[in-house]
Structure 1
Amino acid sequence: MWLLDLGFQLSFLAVMGLLLSPRLAARLPAAWPEWLRLALAATLLAEAATLPLIAGTFGQVPLVGLPANLLAEGIMAALVPLGFVAGLLGPLGSLLAPVIDLLAGALLWVAGTFARFPVLPWGWSARRG
């Protein structure tokens, strides 16, 4: 049944897109830092791979996905390892709570801010009521 789950399908498609990230990053201008080329390539390919499913399921295409995901990607790059370390430290992990709270708040701000931007209506949606 998990094959029919929308979350699984989106994750699967995004990972398939990510597999091509190094190839696309290599085609971006060499003058750009490698971390930027990889971040752009990963975001573009994950967006492109999931776009047909998003458009078909929800009947819309987000117009700000790229900048929103680039910002979220940068925040998550710090948030996930810090959360992992905090978990390993047990009670001492609470020392990292202020930084984790700040990053989590920033991630929520990105999601809330970009969610207010318009979307492009697209075709027919299976989820329309």
Structure 2
Amino acid sequence: MNATSKKKVSLPPILDRRPLSPSGRGSVVKHDDPDQLLCVFASNVRIVRHSLGLSQEALADVSDLDRTYISGIERALRNVSIRNVQRIAVALDVDPRDLLNPLLSSVPKYKPFAEAPPAPRKSQS
């Protein structure tokens, strides 16, 4: 075979085509099996944040992340990097392992906030 002739190579068909995520960032959406760890992390961030009386904006400021990113995390739409898990844990003053603990809502310190977030505070004018 000389250098100018090229042989066509047929590629096998992709057997497992899954849609991209709604954000279009290339992650795969699993409609039948949600990512449990991501959901646990999202729920725990919200529980701890509420227990400390922090808004998403305040948490974002302390952790040096964007408020919309925090919102996406709490709705389990963002796949968080380990660095950002650490930033959020430091900002919330918890061990990063606690944010990944599926039983966090059973810890007495956080239990009252696991069912429903506290009512928003009224500004005193």
TM-score, normalised via structure 1 length: 0.22
TM-score for the superposition, normalised by structure 2 = 0.22
Q: Which structure dedicates a bigger proportion of its chain to helix?
A: 1
Answer with 1 or 2: which has the greater Rg: 2
Give the structure, 1 or 2, with the largest relative contact order (CA under 8 Å, sep 6 or more). Answer: 1
